[in-house]
Structure formats: structure tokens, C-alpha cells
Structure 1
Amino acid sequence: MTTARHRFRGPAAAPYEDPSLPVAERVEDLLGRMTLEEKAGLMFQTIAMMGPDGALLDDPEDPATSGMGPTVRQMVDDLNMTHFNLLGGAAPAQIAAWHNRIQEIALGTRLGIPITLSTDPRHHFTDNPGTAAMATGFSQFPETCGLAAVGDEKLVREFADLARREYLAVGIRLALHPQIDLATEPRWSRINGTFGEDGELTGRMVAAYIRGFQGDELGTESVATMTKHFPGGGPQKDGEDPHFPNGREQVYPGDNFEYHLAPFRKALEAGTSQMMPYYGMPVDTDMEPVGFGFNKGVVTGLLREELGFDGIVCTDWGLICDAPIMGEVHVARAWGVEHLGESERVQKVIEAGCDQFGGEDVPELVVGLVRAGKVAEERIDESVRRLLREKFVLGLFDEPFVDVDATAALVGTPEGLEAGRIAQSRSITLLKNAETPAGPVLPLAEGTRVYVEGVAADVADGYGTVVATPEEADVAIVRLRTPYDERPGFFQSFFHSGTLAFGDAELARILDLCAKVPTVVDIYLERPAVIPEIADGSAALVANYGAADGPLLDVLFGRRAPEGKLPFQLPRSMADVERQRSDVPSDGQDAVFEFGHGLSY
């Protein structure tokens, strides 16, 4: 059986290894022992991949590591890095085993500084290598938009606490979330990771979320949260995402900057340990027109000085160097400072007030700046203190390993899976439920003859009688997804942007089905879809934010009642979307459904 092993080495250990000493004293002792190169390494966090079955991808000549840059061992041993963002999925026990292997490497270095392992969300349905990993072995809940649709702070805290326990079991100690941008630009591709468009609702949700992950204060049983994207992504010009050059501009035509900042005030009150500025470059404002990670007025002036945040500020991924992503070379997101060289970009980020570079592995640039007298080592020490402090507070120096054999009893438990299933059902939003002579269309009676599209027939067969054609059915059940424009490039294809309206051919097909048989339409609202014709033609209309077939059918057949309320307005047309001010919530005219709409039974 793999058991947790203690880092503390006994009476002969250095003071920083002694858990009986105050954290501040341990930090200063370790800081005083570090070389400049070791300090610089601490300021970088990048993606790490694991091999099959939790193996290390440890050979730079291995074809599996081609194009990935240095291996984890090289980054630890040669670059002094100790923060990694796990990319990709695996069974929880495999993640735990891999985590222990990289901890062994780190603890074998001169100072034995343990690894902090981070991740994007892993408890939902989204599978986008740039933003989230679909739940694999973990409990599965609706996206955070779905949690917002339920609007229950107790549910959010319970979800976050469950996710915390599952992260702890596999060694993940830093959540690269919550994402609390406000979904005021309906076309933006990252809406499904938000709590919707409403600032007050998002503020309540994020406070519960952070306390579920961190507790009332950060400690040895916490998972630290990196709240993003300060000071509020969401109002992106034309709804394009600043992962890509065509989406670099962030706009405030409604002069609504403070509205987007408000949820971050709540995150600070809840004690978030870290903050991530967004890629976006504000234009036509009094702010410097550079990406927020480079923006001293925003990071130091607003976040540090005005709001009093003394935690870790980590940039979003890939601000400094052009880099290959999934076989494609993507330019650095150095929006507004594209003309600067890599070293100058690093200097500007440090001067802005950031502590760590996400998605980069070039600590030699920090070393070079200090050696050249362009950045004072005392400024580097400020960031290193914050980074070390969190490792000590989380208890990583004292308990760096996890029990691999215990993961099965701690992750993806029957209780956790059932909690996720119930939350999926609760988040279903009933938008329309037509009246018939026999009463409302929903809930359906058990055994109803149903024709299904987008629903697994074997699952539906446990609720109704599945038939092969609409003509044989009493009711059709159809699952749809919010439309989007196809974008070039494999990586960009994961970011669904552009149109929110169905094309003519697909819309005609759906409406033809609605004309043949009473049709219950379910639509996955990863963004606010334009569906006026479907709303008119359907017999019943529901929305989900990440729900498997079973939890949806539980609602449609009355085994559970829908509780969801729309976390954003659903516009009537793309023309209306294009007229809206990107930073203003519910700015559409004559919406099909307003924010907060939701029926029940």
C-alpha cells in the first residue's frame, strides 16, 4: 500500500523543513538559501503531460514527447520549476501515481521544494484543452452556468467541497478556477465556464465556491483557488476570444467596468489565494491599452493597492513566447506589446505586479534581467515569498505525497456521482411547457411512446417506449447544442464563437419534426442561443448546461422537478445580438426569454 510520507527529516533538518516553526520563519529561511536561478524557476508554471497509466514522459527523445518542450524532469532538475498544470485525463489512481513520481523528482533536488500541481476544471462536461477537461473518474456536475441556474449557494459550496476532496486525493492542490467573468457578450466562447451575466448572482456563487475549495481560510486540507480573469473578461469585442489575435480587444461601450469588477471584490472577501488577469487588451478606456497581465495600473494600482490583495498573481498562459499548441504554432498573447522582445515582455509583467508566468518555461529570462540590473532581486523575492508561503500553508513540505491505493474510495464515489446527477437534474431550465386538453406536455407519463434524437435509446427505454419514427411516437425528444461558426485551426475549433442561430436547413429540419409530432426540445446552452422559431414550434422547451441523458429524462418524466432559472438572456436575433453593448447584461431588445426565466411543476 502506498502511504503518505513526511518531508520533515528530524532534528538535523534545515529550519524551513521544521513544521513546528511559523510559516513566515520557514519562508525566510528557505528564501535565504535559494540561488537566483532557483527563485526564477519558482516564478514559472506550465503544462505537464503524463504518460500511459500514470507513467512519466521522461525521455526527450521519445516520440510521445515530440514538440512538447522539456520534460517534467528537465523542468524540475534543470529549470528549478515546481508548479505544473496537468493537461489531459486519466484514471484518478493514475494521476495520483504520476503526482507522486514527480514529487520524488522534486524532493531529490538540492532544496527539495515540492511540486504544486494545478488543473483547469475536471468535474463538468466541457472537453477543451485550453479551458477544461471532461470528468474522467471524477464526480460530474453541470457547468458553473448550471450551478448558477439553480442559484443555491449551499449546492455550490457542497460541489466545491466534493471537488476539493477529490483533488486532494490525487495530489491537485491548486484550482485554476473559478472563472467569474460576466457573460454580457452573448457570442463569447467561454460563457459556459461562468456563472452567467448577473454580477450579484456571480458574487454569491463565487464566495461559496472559494470557501468550498479553500475552507474559511487556506490550510493543509485546502485546494487553493486561482480566481479568473481579473478585472473581468467577458466584454470581448464582437465576442471573439483573446486566446487568438482576432479577439485581443476588450471593450466597455456601456461604461460598465465596475459591474464586471464587482464579483472579484466578493472573491477577495472570500479569501481567494490567487488571481489570474485575462489576456484581453482594454481599448477606448483610460487604462493602458495592453493585455491585463502587462498592465501595472490594473494589477498593482487596482488589485494590489486599491483592493489590498497580497496573494499570488499568475498570468494567463502564454504571454511571452510563441509556442506550439496541438501541432500548430500560436503567437504569444502579448496584446499591445507585440513589438517587445521576450525579455522585455517578462520585465513588463514583473513591473505590472505579477508573481508567476503561466504556460512558460523560460526562467533564464528573469535571471538575465536581474543580472543586467533591469529588475532588482528584491522584487523577485517579493513574488517568491508569496509562492513559498502558499506551499508551506498547504502543507506540501510536510505531506507531499498522496495514497494511491486510497483514491478508489475517495474519488468518483457512488455518493459523489449521485450528487452530480441530482445537480444536473436540478439545473435543467424549463422554458416552455404548452398546455394540451390533457394538461401540460411535461412531465411525460412513464411508458410514453417516444422518438428520440441525441438521446441514447437504451437510456430512454428505461423511461418510455422508444419507437423508430416520429409517426409512431406520442412525443419526440430532441437534444440540440447552441450553434457556432466553424473556425480554422484545431485548437481554435474548441472555442465556439460567432453565430448563435441555427442555419436554415437545420432549423427547417427541427421545425418539420415539431410539425409532425409534439416535440420536446432540449438545448445545451453553452452560450445564449437564438431560438425564437424553436420556442414557438416546440411543445416543450428545456435548457441544460451540462447534463447526461439520465438526469435530463428524470426531469422530463417527472422523477425530479426542474429548478433552473436562465443565467442570461436569450436574444431574439443575431441582429439584436450585434446591437448589444458588450459590457451590459440583458441588453437585448424583445428577448425570447429574459434572465431569471424558468418554470417548474
Structure 2
Amino acid sequence: MTTTTTRTTLTAPDGTVFRDLNGNGTLDPYEDPRVPVADRVEDLLARMTPADKAGLMFQTVIETGPDGSLVEALGAISKSPTTAVVQAKRLTHFNVHRLPEPRLAARWHNALQRLAEDTPLGIPVTVSTDPRHAFHENSGASFAAGHFSQWPDALGLAAIGDAGAVRQFADAARQEYVAVGIRAALHPCVDLATEPRWARQLGTFGEDSALTSAFTAAYLDGFQGPDGRLGAGSVACTTKHFPGGGPQADGEDAHFPYGREQVYPGGRFADHLAPFRVAIAHRTAAMMPYYGMPVGLVLDGEPIEPVGFGYNRQIVTGLLREELGYDGVVVTDWELVNDNVVATGQVLAARAWGVEHLDAPARMVKILAAGCDQFGGEECTDLLLGLVADGAVTQDRLDASVRRLLRVKFELGLFDDPYVDEDAAAAVVGRADLVAAGLRAQSRSVTVLTNDVLTNGPLTNGALAGTPILPLAPGLRVLAIGLSPADAAGLGEVVDDVADADVAVVRLVAPWEHRDSMFLESWFHAGSLEFPADVVAQVRELAARVPVVLDVTLDRPAILTPLLGLATAIVASYGTSGPALVAALTGAVPPEGRLPFQLPRSMAAVRAARPDVPSDTPDPTFAAGHGLRYAPASA
């Protein structure tokens, strides 16, 4: 083992071994692993100062040193040195971004826990993360897998259509997270992908409420434990974005002021809420409301205040707490209180939609009044303590949130042993069986949209004439565009000139409008779903010479209408590596994917559709659930 602690581990007179977190030489109830969690929480709560409580109610981003050390200089994303934010501000919840290789990640985590152990009560740190097991790199939402096993994005898991595959992924990710000390997941994202233009669809399970609900249950069971029960080997999940973040007006994202409005013209609020009901039944440790501001929403005859959901008492307290009976943690989405100055010097305005006129203290009061427990992306403990000192926020209000936050830490076993083993981290993260399972899932998720009979090119003169082009036969001469030569070699003989090719395999990504006037904007693919004319022309030119197999990576729907008559086969993927795509195209791992949303025929149809209604564009090129299978190989 390579873990150590800085405080003395003691043995009580009755033989109980415990961590003397407050250094008083006595086994206090909150240090006693035999005491029920509720009693441990109350004992610790009574010992906490207002500063201890305030620190627990913030979660901010933290950076790691490349050598596994703590970062004490201000970096690109950290607002304070690590020691200052842990020991002076008493924060104990951190969202980690970049991680070094597993052994060093574990070393960093242990150093962070030792730092927390040197606070007066020794409250351990909870490290959280956005999704980091797939392909999409977006510092505002998710990270590429890196050292972790790599799986299709959530849309790809949905395309497989198997709750067992979702549970398998969640259990694999749980093992790797726990190995490096990550004990909280800022996911799953169970929003419904009902607005074709919305930029966050890749992280969802698609447009279908019933399927998303089933996958939500499997996801929580895989991460947290059977029936979602937390334990020493669990990762606590934050299900988001309550009460459903998909129906954005015009498909714009609520990260940005032009995308703040969330609308329900089809009256389908209940569909979007349904997966969150399942998350509650499966004991999700936390919920996160979205930035979105409901416009024109009426529930049970009561108009809902048009303010961001994190500020909305009718939604958080009235619906989530009282009607649905949820008593877990509610953490806001990032930066609802203060403007943020990012590394470029650009000022990112707080996402205070509907309450832009309020100052930071008033926003904080409204968030607490709404029923939220923790401020995401903030560390302004002095502001909260000032509100307590002024009587604007009561001690009882702090205690209500602190109880929920402490309960999760105790249920995860962090007070009893928060440390991880560097050797185990190196052995578990990227373990061969997890990598193989992820690679197979990538191939399975590929969705065959069209698979036409060969009608042009040299292949029509041989044994393949009159047969569907997929799976690709061995021994072909392949022109590969968007695949590395090494990966393309799995398809056959790689050639550089279309004149020498039997077939062209082309990878495209779903189109979007390139925007970069605001921080993070370039990461959120929004706007038109139409391919540029030059892309269509390039495919047309190829298709005139040779059969084309086209793969389109869908992070949201794409309008494939102009490509349908050109490519001999079209497949969709949702985070698939070169080797995984090759396995699917050759049939080594037969693709099983079905579309998790419809693919509209035109932008006119998209603009006419209702954002909260699934499959609401008329005459789509492909309906949700579409997906072809290869014919069984002959004996």
C-alpha cells in the first residue's frame, strides 16, 4: 500500500480503531464507524463553526499538479491556492478538471485529503468530475477519456438500447473513479433531446422519456450501488438538469444569455420530468437544476416564475422537495452568483437569468430560499457568512443543507478512510478488460442508416455485385478520409488516389455554426444542422468515381438529405474510435445501434417543431429507433 495519513490512528479502550480527526485523543461519535450516520451527522454538526458550515456549501473547480502535487499558484481555472481554499475557506467539495496519469492522480488526491485532515475537524474532501470516459472535449461539460477506458458518449449507449450496457459502463467508470479518489459524478445528464439544435444532446440518452428513465436507473445502480445505495465503493451521482434541460427556445443553450429561455409549447413538461422521478426512486445523491429560465410554464394552474431553475422556489422546493419528496443534495449549476473573470481576461457574466438585476448577496439569498444546498463554481464563503451575520440567512437554514452534504460523505465512508492506493490506481484505471468492453460498446453503438446494393465502381463486376456494401469484404483497396492510415489498414489495402480505390470510407462530424464571441461558446455546437455546400460537393465528387461509405459522428442530429443519393452506405456514430468503427464496418463486431432521436429532413422542419416534443419534425429522413442490421453470414 502507498497511502499514509498525517493524523494519528488511535485505538479506543474498547478496541475500536478510529481516526482522531479533531485531535482530542477521544473517540467522538462522528469518528466512530459503528454509530449510525444520522447520529454522526448531528454530532459533527454541533461541533462546526459557521465558517465550517459555509465551506461545505460551495463546490468549485480545482487543478492538479502534473507531478501529483497540490497547486498553490493561481492557474487557468483555480480561483485560489489549494491550501487557502481548503484550510482558510474550509471548502471540502471540488470538481477536478485535468488529471495526470493514474498513479500521480492518486498521489494528488491523497495530498489533498492530508491537507483537509489538518483542519480543526478533519472533514474529508469529496472530489467530483464531469463525464470523462468518452470522446467529446468541452471544459464546460465533459472531458475526453485520456487514461481511463473509453466508451461511446451517452447517446451511443442509448443507441445500443440495452440497460445492461449502461450498467456495465457505469460500473466500469465507478471502478476507475474510485481508484483515483473521485467519489462524486456530476452526471448523469437525463435531459431529453427533443430540440434538434440543442448543443448538449451528446451527453443525454436521446429523446425518448421511457428509455431515458430505464437507462437512468441502470446508470445510478452502476455508479452508486444496487438500488442506488451509497457505500464505501460508491460514486455519488448528481442527476441533471432538473426538471429537464432539453426544451431550449430555438435550440440555444442556457450557458449563454441568448439561450436562457426554456419553453414547453407542446405541454410535455411531464415527459421531461419522468427520468428525474426514476432518479429519486434510485436514490440519486444529488440533483442539479439547469440554468434555463422557464417561459410561459404553468403547473397545476400556477404560473411558474420566469427565473433560472436554480433560483426557482416553485421548482426546487415546491416540486422537487415537497411534491416529489426528495431530501438529497441540490447543487446549483456553475456560477449563478458572481461574474467570473476567465484566464483570457474576459468577463463571463453570472448565469443569473431572470434575476440579472439582483446583486450577488440577493442572488445568494434567492438560491437558498429556492431550496438549493450548494453553490456550484463559487467559493465566496465570506459573502454567505456576511449574510448569516446580518440575519439574512439563519443558522437553521445552513444546518438543513449541511446535514444533507455531510450525510453523503459519511455514506461514502470518507470519514473512515478517504485515501487511495497508488498501486491500485495504476492497476485499475485503463485495465485491459475495461478498455476492451468500452471498445466493443463503441462498435455496437454504430447505427447503420443505409446499406445499398453496389451499383457503380469496379466491385460491381465481381462476386460482390448485387450485394449490400456493408459489411465491407476483406481485401478491398480503400481510400480513407478521416481515418488514420493505421486504423484504415484494418479495412484493407490503403490507397491515396481514388482512381486506385474499390471503395472510399469517409468520416464527417455533424455540422454546426462556429461561434466564439463568448467564453466556452466554441465548445457548444449550435445553430444549423445542414452540411456546407462544399462538403456535399466533395462527397458527390467521390461518389461519381467509387462507392462511398459515410460515417457521420452525431453529437446532435444532422440533416443528411443531400447525401442520401450519393453515399452507398451511411452509418452514424456517437463517439467511436477508428478501430471500433473498422470493427463495425467489417462486421467483426456487428453494429446494433438505433437512432436515439429522429434526423430531420430540413431546417424549415426543425424551426417549425416544438422544442419539448420528441420526433416533432414531419417526414424525417430517419425516424428515432431506425437502424439496420447486417444479414447473418452464410454457413
Same fold, judged at TM 0.5 (above)? yes
Show the 5 A alignment for 1:237-386. 237-285=249-297, 286-327=303-344, 328-386=346-404
1:174-226 Cα deviation digits (max 9, x unpaired): 00000000000011110000000110110011100000000121111110000
- What TM-score, normalized to structure 2? 0.92
Aligned 8 A contact 1:88 1:129 in 2 = no
Q: Which residue of 2 aligns with 1:426?
A: 444
Q: Which residue of 1 aligns with 2:190?
A: 180
Query: How far apart are 1:4 and its partner, in Å?
Result: 6.2
Q: Which residue of 2 aligns with 1:530?
A: 559
1:74 and 2:84 correspond: yes
Q: Which residue of 1 aligns with 2:16?
A: none
Query: How far apart are 1:463 and its partner, in Å?
Result: 2.8
Partner Cα separation in structure 1 for residue 496 and residue 8 of structure 2: 62
Partner Cα separation in structure 1 for residue 342 and residue 28 of structure 2: 41
Aligned 8 A contact 1:181 1:229 in 2 = yes
Query: How far apart are 1:67 and its partner, in Å?
Result: 7.0
Closer, same or farther: CA 7–323 of 1 in aligned 2, 3 Å: farther
Closer, same or farther: CA 326–522 of 1 in aligned 2, 3 Å: farther
Partner Cα separation in structure 1 for residue 256 and residue 139 of structure 2: 15
Aligned 8 A contact 1:476 1:518 in 2 = yes
Closer, same or farther: CA 67–431 of 1 in aligned 2, 3 Å: closer
Aligned pair partner of 1:55 in 58, 65, 69: 69
Query: How far apart are 1:13 and its partner, in Å?
Result: 2.9
Aligned pair partner of 2:576 in 521, 525, 547: 547
Closer, same or farther: CA 510–398 of 1 in aligned 2, 3 Å: same
Q: Which residue of 2 aligns with 1:143?
A: 153
Aligned 8 A contact 1:290 1:335 in 2 = yes
Query: How far apart are 1:361 and its partner, in Å?
Result: 0.4
Partner Cα separation in structure 1 for residue 475 and residue 488 of structure 2: 10
Closer, same or farther: CA 580–301 of 1 in aligned 2, 3 Å: same
Partner Cα separation in structure 2 for residue 496 and residue 94 of structure 1: 33
Q: Which residue of 1 aligns with 2:478?
A: 450
Letter in structure 2 aligned against 1:445: A
Letter in structure 1 aligned against 2:125: I
1:284-316 Cα deviation digits (max 9, x unpaired): 122110000000000000000000000000000
Query: How far apart are 1:326 and its partner, in Å?
Result: 4.2
Q: Which residue of 1 aligns with 2:459?
A: none
Q: Which residue of 1 aligns with 2:22?
A: none
Aligned pair partner of 2:414 in 392, 396, 408: 396
Q: Which residue of 2 aligns with 1:570?
A: 599
1:123-179 Cα deviation digits (max 9, x unpaired): 111110000010011010000100000011111111101100100000000000000
Partner Cα separation in structure 2 for residue 455 and residue 562 of structure 1: 18
1:501 and 2:530 correspond: yes
Q: Which residue of 2 aligns with 1:200?
A: 210
Partner Cα separation in structure 2 for residue 376 and residue 43 of structure 1: 14
Aligned 8 A contact 1:8 1:397 in 2 = no
1:17 and 2:31 correspond: yes
Structure 2 residue matching 1:462: 3-state secondary structure? helix
Query: How far apart are 1:447 and its partner, in Å?
Result: 1.6
1:259-284 Cα deviation digits (max 9, x unpaired): 10011111111111110000000011
Aligned pair partner of 2:40 in 13, 23, 26: 26
Closer, same or farther: CA 566–23 of 1 in aligned 2, 3 Å: same
Aligned pair partner of 1:488 in 482, 499, 516: 516
Aligned 8 A contact 2:224 2:230 in 1 = yes
Query: How far apart are 1:68 and its partner, in Å?
Result: 3.5
Aligned 8 A contact 1:4 1:399 in 2 = no
Q: Identical aligned pairs, as a percentage?
A: 54
Query: How far apart are 1:97 and its partner, in Å?
Result: 1.0
Aligned 8 A contact 1:191 1:526 in 2 = yes
Task: Identify which range, 222-231 or 465-474, moves more after superposition.
Answer: 465-474
Structure 2: segments with no counterpart, 5+ residues: 13-25, 298-302, 455-464, 631-635
1:582 and 2:611 correspond: yes
Aligned 8 A contact 2:472 2:491 in 1 = no
Query: How far apart are 1:66 and its partner, in Å?
Result: 6.3
Partner Cα separation in structure 2 for residue 89 and residue 81 of structure 1: 20
Q: Which residue of 2 aligns with 1:225?
A: 237
Aligned pair partner of 1:211 in 209, 214, 221: 221
Closer, same or farther: CA 4–511 of 1 in aligned 2, 3 Å: farther
Partner Cα separation in structure 1 for residue 214 and residue 65 of structure 2: 39
Structure 1 residue matching 2:565: 3-state secondary structure? helix
Partner Cα separation in structure 1 for residue 10 and residue 29 of structure 2: 10
Closer, same or farther: CA 69–21 of 1 in aligned 2, 3 Å: same
1:439 and 2:451 correspond: no
Query: How far apart are 1:461 and its partner, in Å?
Result: 1.2
Letter in structure 1 aligned against 2:352: A
Aligned pair partner of 1:93 in 90, 103, 121: 103
Letter in structure 2 aligned against 1:535: L
Aligned pair partner of 2:175 in 152, 165, 183: 165
1:29-54 Cα deviation digits (max 9, x unpaired): 11000011110110000000112222
Query: How far apart are 1:8 and its partner, in Å?
Result: 5.6
1:483-537 Cα deviation digits (max 9, x unpaired): 0001123521011100111111221112221222100000000010011121221
Show the 5 A alignment for 1:471-482. 471-482=499-510
Letter in structure 1 aligned against 2:28: A
Partner Cα separation in structure 2 for residue 557 and residue 316 of structure 1: 43
Aligned 8 A contact 2:266 2:613 in 1 = yes
Structure 1 residue matching 2:60: 3-state secondary structure? strand
Partner Cα separation in structure 1 for residue 394 and residue 565 of structure 2: 65
- What TM-score, normalized to structure 1? 0.98
Query: How far apart are 1:14 and its partner, in Å?
Result: 2.3
Closer, same or farther: CA 326–592 of 1 in aligned 2, 3 Å: farther
Aligned pair partner of 2:121 in 97, 111, 120: 111
Query: How far apart are 1:7 and its partner, in Å?
Result: 8.2
RMSD: 1.3
Query: How far apart are 1:91 and its partner, in Å?
Result: 1.3
Q: Which residue of 2 aligns with 1:2?
A: 2
- Would you say how many aligned residue pairs link Structure 1 and Structure 2? 597
Partner Cα separation in structure 2 for residue 480 and residue 242 of structure 1: 27
Structure 1 residue matching 2:151: 3-state secondary structure? coil
Aligned 8 A contact 1:44 1:83 in 2 = yes
Letter in structure 2 aligned against 1:291: G
Aligned 8 A contact 1:7 1:398 in 2 = no
Partner Cα separation in structure 2 for residue 7 and residue 415 of structure 1: 38
Letter in structure 2 aligned against 1:199: S
Closer, same or farther: CA 67–148 of 1 in aligned 2, 3 Å: closer
Partner Cα separation in structure 2 for residue 153 and residue 385 of structure 1: 33
